[in-house]
């Protein structure tokens, strides 16, 4: 079976790093990921650079790509203006994200869940006309740093509304890394049942409490076909206190390949990308497989 991995490292990974990498390096990261066989790369964030300075120069990142045939380059957007910037910049896909609690929605993008969900429907229509792939991410689907528990009924209510607009995918995001496998299975199974056939179900996990890979396994075994991850395990969320990085793409690929899933990714090449990114950021990254290596017996 195939799992489609979206490397969100150039966006979610780098947006919370202390060191800001210039657009040409971020474009270079995307190129390296594409060369390693990553099928989809979240290359840039079309948000206000005053709020997230690490993401400044989104247009330059997209313009700086050496686009690889078969790779899809995405831009994250939080509102209609971002959508327009992303499409004008020439992304292959727009990924629109909004939170499932009003408090987080207000802090993160100055909106309400109701308004944000309505916008998902409008953007889905525009994306169809514009001929770009369109994905909707539902943040804090497994718990909110401000409101606490997010009831599964509420998640599915909003997810169902969004799925009704037939986006290419709906992604459940564990923004602050609190979910556990039983929770993942229940939500993914139910969302898979209510989503239209043309809408893929994806998941986005942070490894804040070390549950990320377990949750990813639970997700693909329950019907998710898309998983976000960041090479090296960089990342976090500037507006989610104590959130740490995304699951590391190389750790995810190691696990999925070992379990018999196909990803199209060359793990050894990906491990090299993690090493390169670690050098660019001048720090050790939390991913583990790029340090331990894929399994090979040692001699001596």
For the annotated catalytic residues, the residue numbers are 237
The values of phi and psi at residue 71, to 5°, are: -95, 140
Residue 25 or 180 with smaller CB distance to a second copy: 180
> From the list 48, 166, 255, 280, which residue makes contact with a second copy (rule: CB under 8 A)?
255
50 binds a second copy (CB under 8 A): no
CA-nearest of 183, 286, 177 to 230 is 286
What is the rounded CA–CA span in Å between residue 219 and residue 192?
11
Residue 148 or 282 with smaller CB distance to a second copy: 148
Residue 20 or 255 with smaller CB distance to a second copy: 255
Minimum CB separation of residue 241 from a second copy in Å reads 5
236 binds a second copy (CB under 8 A): no
Residue 117 CB neighbours (<10 A): 21
DSSP code for 144: B
Residue 282 or 296 with smaller CB distance to a second copy: 296
Residue 62 or 172 with smaller CB distance to a second copy: 172
Per the CB < 8 A criterion, the answer to whether 7 and 41 are in contact is yes
13 binds a second copy (CB under 8 A): no
Strand partners of residue 97:
137
Restricted to residues 158-217, the positions that interact with a second copy (CB under 8 A) are 176-183, 207-214, 216-217
Q: Return the range that interacts with a second copy (CB under 8 A); candidates 57-65, 70-78, 191-199, 292-300.
A: 292-300
Sign of CA dihedral 219, 42, 277, 294: positive
Residue 122 or 242 with smaller CB distance to a second copy: 242
What is the rounded CA–CA span in Å between residue 50 and residue 246?
23
289 binds a second copy (CB under 8 A): yes
Q: Counting Cβ atoms within 10 Å, is residue 19 exposed (0-12), middle (13-18) or buried (19+)? A: exposed
Minimum CB separation of residue 229 from a second copy in Å reads 11
Question: Which positions ≥6 away from 268 have C-beta within 8 Å?
Answer: 294
Q: First CA to last CA across the chain, in angstroms?
A: 37
The pattern of x and - marking residues 118 through 157 that bind a second copy according to CB under 8 A reads: -------------------------xxxxxx---------
Question: Which positions ≥6 away from 155 have C-beta within 8 Å?
Answer: 100, 138, 141, 172, 187
71 binds a second copy (CB under 8 A): no
- Both structure tokens of 202: 């994806």
Minimum CB separation of residue 27 from a second copy in Å reads 28
Q: Number of residues in contact with a second copy, rule: CB under 8 A? A: 46
What is the rounded CA–CA span in Å between residue 75 and residue 45?
6
The pattern of x and - marking residues 257 through 276 that bind a second copy according to CB under 8 A reads: -xxx----------------
Site residues (CB under 8 A) for a second copy? 143-148, 176-183, 207-214, 216-218, 241-242, 244, 247-248, 251, 254-255, 258-260, 287-289, 292-293, 295-299
């Amino acid at each position: 079976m195939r799992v489609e991995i979206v490397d969100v490292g150039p966006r979610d990974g780098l947006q919370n790093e202390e060191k800001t990498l210039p657009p040409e390096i971020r474009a270079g990261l995307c190129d390296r990921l594409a060369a390693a066989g990553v099928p989809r790369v979240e290359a840039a964030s079309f948000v206000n650079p005053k709020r997230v300075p690490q993401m400044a120069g989104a247009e330059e990142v997209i313009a700086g790509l050496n686009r690889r045939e078969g790779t899809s380059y995405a831009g994250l957007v939080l509102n209609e203006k971002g959508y327009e910037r992303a499409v004008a910049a020439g992304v292959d896909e727009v990924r629109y994200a909004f939170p499932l609690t009003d408090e987080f929605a207000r802090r993160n993008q100055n909106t309400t869940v109701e308004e944000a969900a309505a916008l998902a429907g409008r953007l889905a229509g525009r994306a169809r006309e514009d001929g770009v792939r369109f994905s909707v991410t539902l943040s804090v689907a497994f718990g909110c740093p401000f409101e606490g528990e997010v009831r599964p009924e509420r998640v599915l209510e909003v997810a169902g509304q969004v799925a009704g607009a037939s986006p290419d995918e709906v992604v459940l995001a564990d923004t602050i890394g609190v979910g556990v496998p039983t929770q993942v299975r229940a939500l993914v199974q139910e969302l898979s049942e209510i989503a239209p056939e043309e809408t893929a179900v994806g998941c986005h996990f942070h490894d804040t409490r070390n549950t990320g890979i377990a949750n990813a396994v639970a997700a693909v075994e329950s019907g998710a076909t898309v998983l976000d991850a960041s090479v090296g395990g960089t990342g976090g969320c500037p507006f989610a206190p104590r959130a740490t990085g995304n699951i590391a793409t190389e750790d995810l690929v190691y696990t999925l390949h070992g379990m018999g899933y196909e990803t199209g990714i060359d793990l050894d090449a990906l491990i090299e990308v993690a090493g390169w990114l670690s050098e660019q950021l001048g720090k050790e990254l939390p991913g583990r497989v790029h340090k331990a290596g894929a399994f090979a017996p040692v001699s001596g």
